[in-house]
Structure formats: C-alpha cells, structure tokens
Amino acid sequence: MQSNMFTDISLNHYLVLSSILFVIGMAGVLLRRNVIVILMSIELMLNAVNISFIAFSKYTQNVDGQIMVFFVMTIAAAEAAVGLALAVTIFKRFKEVNIKFFEHLRG
Amino acid sequence: MTSDVFLFWFLALLIIGSGLAVLLFTNPIYSALSLAMTMVGVAAVFITLQAFFIAGVQLIVYAGAVMVLFVMVLMLFDIKAEVQAFSSGKISGAIKLISVGLLSGLIVGGIIMSQKSFVGEMTKDAVHMAEIQKLKKSTSPDASSKELGMVLFSKHIFGFEALGVLLTVIAVGTVALARSRGGTHHAK
Amino acid sequence: MGQDVFEITINCIKLVLIFLMMVQAVPVLVWIERRGSAFIQNRFGPNRVGPLGLMQLLADAVKFLTKEDFAPDKAIRPLFYAAPIFALIPATLAFAAIPMSVPLEIGGYVFKIQGYDMNVGIVYVLGVSSLAAYTILMAGWGSASKFSLLGALRASAQVISYELALGLSIVGVILLFGTFNLTEMIHAQQGPLSFKAFGHTISSAYIPNWGIFYQPLAAIIFFAATFAESNRLPFDLAEGEAEIVAGFHTEYGGFKMLMFFIGEYGHMMLGSALMIIFFFGGYGIPWVSVEDVRQWAGGLTDSAATISVITTLVHFLSFMIKFVLFLWIFIWVRWTLPRFRYDQLMDLGWKTMLPWALGNTILTALVIFLVS
C-alpha cells in the first residue's frame, strides 16, 4: 500500500519537524548578536531534541525517552537560570548585551 | 483527513512559524514571546504523542517559568530593537548560513534515507496497528504517569539524584552570581 | 470528543456553556463584591439601579462598552491590544478542566459536566494557569508607562514565587489520593472519614472523608497561594494604588480593563474550584453518597434519564454552594486585610510557605510509607 505523505503521520514527520526546529535554533545561535536571544535559541534547540525524544518514545513504546525529556528540561531550566544570571551581572556592569562586546573581555 | 493529521500539520506550521519568528524579530521582547508560543506548541505536540504528563511539565517549566524569566530580564534591561541585530561580515555570515543549510540538509536527508531501514520496519502497517492497539490499552487513566514514575525512580534513579545535586549547585551559584558586584574588572 | 454527530454537538455546546458561565459570573461577582464591601464597611453600596442595585451590572456593562477606545501615544500597539485578550485565555482553559457534577447519562450517552477529562488534570491546570504571567508582562511592557512596568515586574515575580508553594502544597494531596485526575480525587473523598493505619481501619461516621482533614497545612498554604496567584488583596502588590497608581493596567480603560477583570475573577473562580476539589470533596455532598441521591431520585420518578438529570443537578447545586462560599471568602478577605509590603510578600512566599510546603510533602510521604 502506497502511504500518503500528507495523511499518514509517521515517526519521520516528527523527526523532520524536530530537525527543522533544531536548525532554526542553530541559525539563531550563529546569526544573532544579542546574548539573551542566543540563550533563547539554545532553548529552541533543546525543545527540538525533546520532540524527537517523545516521538521515539511513542513509536518504540518505551518510557525511557520521556525520562530523558525530563532530564533535558531540568538541565535547560538550570542553564537558563545561570545564563540569565550571567547576562544580568554583565549588563549591570557594562550596559551591553551584544556578543561582539565580549570578545574584548580579558581575564 | 482525520483530526490527528490536521492537528499535526497545524502544530508543525505553528511551531516552525513561531520558531522562525524567534530568529527574525529584531526586538528581543517579540522573540521571547514567540519562543513562549513555540513552547506551548511543543507541549501540544507532546499531547498528540500521548505524553500528557511531560506536556504539563513542559507548560509549567518552560512556558510558565523559564520564558517568564527571559521576558522579565529583557524588560529589566529595557532593550529596544537593536540597530544591528544580526552579525555582520559577508564571509563569516556566508559561512554560517552555509553551515546551517548543510546541517539541515544532512538531518532531513538522513531521516528520509533511513525510512527504509529501522523506521520503515516500525511503520509497516501491521506492526503499526499492533502498536496502536497496545498503546490504547496501556494509556488507561494514570497508567503512563505511573509507569513514568516507576521507571524514573528505579532504572534512572542515579540520574535523578545527580540532577538533584546539580540543581542545588545551580541554585547556590545563581544566587552567588546575582549578589556579586559583577565581572572580574574594576569599574573605571 | 464523541462517537457521533449528536455527542460531538452536545460536547461543543458544553464547552461554550462553561465559558459563558465563567464570563457571566463576573458581573454577579462584581455586584457581590461592591455590595459586600459596602456591607463590611457599613455603607450602602450601589442600590439605585433596579432592586438591590442588581441592574447596576447592566449599567456598568453599557458604560464599559461605550467608553472611548484609548491607547497611550507611545504604547506598543500589538502588545497593548493583545494583552487583554490573552488575559482571558489561561483562566478559561483551566476552568474547563474542572469537574462540576456527576456525569449525565441519557439514552446510552454519557456527558461529563466538565470541559474535558484529563488523566493529568492537575498538571494541566497548573501548566495552563502559569501562562497568566505573560498577560501581565505584555500589558506592563506594552503600555510604555513606568507604573505599568513596575506593576508587571512585581506581579510576575510574585506569580512565579507563589507557584512553587502552590505546586508543592498540592504534592501532598496527590500523594494522599494517588492520582492526578480531578474526578478520581472527588471519588476518593466520598463517604465518612476512614483510613487504614497499621492494618486497622479507623473511621468516624460524623466527619466527611475530605482532604482538609488529612492535609490541613496544605489547605492553608494552597489557599494563601491562590490569593497571590490571582493578584487579590492582601497580595495585590501588582496594583498597589498608593504606590504605583494601578499597576499593570494603569493605562487601560473601558472594555479592555473589563477583560483584565474577567481574567482576575477567572483565576479566583479557578482557585475556589480547586480548593473545593482538593480539600472539600468537590461536588460530593457530605454524609450522602451519589448512590443515595440516585435512590432518592428513583423514588420520585421511573425514567432513568430523569433520575440521572436530578442526580446531576443536585450535585451541581452542592458544587455551587461550596463554590460561592469560597468566592465569598475571597471577597471577604479582600475587604478585611491590609496589603503586605513587597519584601514581606517575598519573605512569606520563599521563607515561610515554601519550607512549610516542603515539610508537609516529606511528612505526608513518610506517614503514607509508614502507615501502609
């Protein structure tokens, strides 16, 4: 039976969706200059990974994928907290969020 | 066209559209709000994949807490639309764009090529129907969240404990960062 | 959604009805609030328009609708206009998951008196209502006014902080009933108080089997956190009129302002409904089980459909009585207690309620582990 790409939703659809979202996130990290937008793009990439985890978990009938999403979410929240704290500290000090600026920082 | 199919395409368009909006808006506030929209869309995709508990957690953690933090920080900074939101430089820009394109091509191509092997096996009609039957049986009330809890606290207990330690460290570190006067430089 | 066209139609109408119920309760609540505050403060309140001032609602509606549609000069238009619309969404979506009565059974169809029944009802309600912070932030940022922005930052920080205490206080309840499903929670709370301890069954015929008798601390923390979540006094720092005019809705007027109002009252209703479901037996009637009501209705009529309708109505009435009682407590507290200071608010949230809620969770887990 020939399966129709538009009406038969399979694992591939979710994987392609996830990869497109991941690539958007990566483009954000590479192209944007605002530190906070870069952090947001990283969140986008993590979400893309989550979609593929959940899709695999459903199509292989295995709960482990959902557990992984759990862990990824925790890490993402922690990463956002630390990233934002750093951004706030730097902004308070230098009034600057452009990533270009940080090239000139010396230890 | 059943409702599931419609839902998938609708959510896919919503997620990709709002994801692109994150990238393209020059005002970071709009970017953050579109990202929140993406998070809600992803939670809805989780619901279509019958991961109800994870969908709820996604809403609470991502949409309800992390993104609100982002928006709050942006508002505290009071950053208006940037004059130069995207990085400049023709050669480096071109290299970045090309690498993004290559990666996307690789990923999408890889997925489509693999259709015949592992994934192809999975989605064969008979297997697929059996899977669906099994799934319908197993998602009686609370079955999935109970199963989730069992696996989390038995098989993955080490990861869980490690995450607990990590979160404690992060909490202490964040407070320390927020209280510090910022940077290693002395103000001039 | 349903098996055939009839069931789907009824379910769609049901969703609309629940939304209308929520929106239409707001004018009544405003009237209760104004008359109640007048009663508490020894004044008359609105009593000129219609009997008991009831027509005041209509007059208000006309006033709100005919006001000038005004936006500040420097406002960010898309956000400024989107915020009031988004204010309605979280409370409405969450309220649809509240079970309000026993299912209605007519001719082979079963209609639940709730928008949708989810296995993870609690997680869903918490998740959706946590989206309310965006409304406040959008309004505050979109108005381009410093009072709005200050109010928005205060409100969102407050909502995030109290969500922790709110979530943790519910964990004890979830452990107790062993389910995320709101309907199953209500089922677990029917009948007289009885529980198993060390192999013995302890029961009391005079006390209903309600959550508050198992989790009194969680009930107090949850109720206090609901006040903070819905930005009501004593936690309405977001609008503290003595300090920042009216907080995040300083620049709003007319119908846009009314939509924020509906959102706030929606959260209030959600809070009281959840309070009832977690701690006060939901739609259950104390000392009387659903079967008793069904038998009593069977004495009145023979038709199975009528019996089902009567049972549903009686339980709906029971739900409504508790619901209105808790809404009245919301209003009562608002006109009795003074406002907190902001540092006191944060202290209460992080240093008092959060540790107590954590302790309650650990204690509940320990007791359940030891007793069973």
Which residue is closest to B30 within chain A, CA to CA? A37
Predicted local distance difference test score (pLDDT) of residue B165: 93
Q: Do B82 and A81 touch (CB under 8 A)?
A: no
Neighbouring chains of A at 3+ CB pairs under 8 Å are: B
Q: State the residue for tokens 């208006």.
A: B80
Predicted local distance difference test score (pLDDT) of residue B141: 42
Q: State the residue for tokens 């992803």.
A: B42
d(Cα B169, Cα B147) in Å, to the nearest integer? Answer: 29
Mean pLDDT of chain B: 76
Residues of chain C with pLDDT under 70: 1-3, 238, 240-243
| A37 within domain boundaries | yes
Per-position b or e across C232-242, b if 16+ CB within 10 A of its CB: bbbbbbbbbee
B9 in the same domain as B81: yes
Q: What is the mean pLDDT of residues A26-40?
A: 84
The residue with greater pLDDT, C148 or B181, is C148
The residue with greater pLDDT, B170 or B78, is B170
Find the domain containing B175 and state its range.
140-183
Domain boundaries, chain C: 5-42+73-371
d(Cα C191, Cα A90) in Å, to the nearest integer? Answer: 60
| A28 within domain boundaries | no
d(Cα C107, Cα C143) in Å, to the nearest integer? Answer: 54
Q: Is the pLDDT of residue A1 over 50?
A: no
B81 in the same domain as B11: yes
| B114 within domain boundaries | no
Global confidence as pTM? 0.83
Q: Is the pLDDT of residue B84 over 70?
A: no
| B163 within domain boundaries | yes
d(Cα C360, Cα C211) in Å, to the nearest integer? Answer: 14
Segment holding C62, helix H or strand E: helix C56-66
Of C104, C124, C122, C123, which Cα lies nearest the Cα of C114?
C104
Report the residue of C80, C81, C119 to disrupt the B interface, i.e. the one with the largest count of B CBs within 10 Å. Answer: C119
Q: Do A20 and B86 touch (CB under 8 A)?
A: no
Contacts of A76 in chain B (CB under 8 A): 61-62, 66
Mean pLDDT of chain A: 81
Of C222, C220, C169, C213, which Cα lies nearest the Cα of C188?
C213
Q: What is the number of domains present in chain A?
A: 1
Q: What is the number of domains present in chain B?
A: 2
Q: Is the pLDDT of residue A106 over 70?
A: no
Q: Is the pLDDT of residue B137 over 70?
A: no
Q: Is the pLDDT of residue A13 over 50?
A: yes
B77 in the same domain as B15: yes
Of B69, B86, B103, the domain-final residue: B86
Mean pLDDT of chain C: 82
| A90 within domain boundaries | yes
Helix axes C254-279, C56-66, angle to 10 degrees: 130
Question: What interface predicted TM-score (ipTM) does this complex get?
Answer: 0.85
Contact present, B and A (at least 3 Cβ pairs less than 8 Å): yes
Q: Residue type at C53?
A: G
Pairing state between β C200-208 and C192-197: antiparallel
B152 contacts chain A (CB < 8 A): yes
Query: Which of B55, B58, B142 is closest, CB to CB, to C181?
Result: B142
| B125 within domain boundaries | no
Of B66, B86, B106, the domain-final residue: B86
Find the domain containing A77 and state its range.
33-99
| A15 within domain boundaries | no
Distance from CA of C150 to the nearest CA of B (A): 10
Helices (H), chain A: 11-31, 35-59, 64-94
Distances (CA, A) of B98 to A27, A38, B90, B104: 10, 19, 12, 10
Predicted local distance difference test score (pLDDT) of residue A107: 52
| A27 within domain boundaries | no
Q: Do A71 and B185 touch (CB under 8 A)?
A: no
The residue with greater pLDDT, C189 or B19, is B19
The residue with greater pLDDT, B114 or B67, is B67
pLDDT 10s digits, A45-93: 999 999 999 888 888 777 888 888 889 999 998 988 888 888 887 777 7
CATH of the domain at B38: 1.20.120.1200
The residue with greater pLDDT, C192 or B129, is C192
Predicted local distance difference test score (pLDDT) of residue B119: 47
Q: What is the mean pLDDT of residues B58-64?
A: 86
CATH of the domain at A68: 1.10.287.3510
The pair of structure tokens assigned to A21 is 């979202």
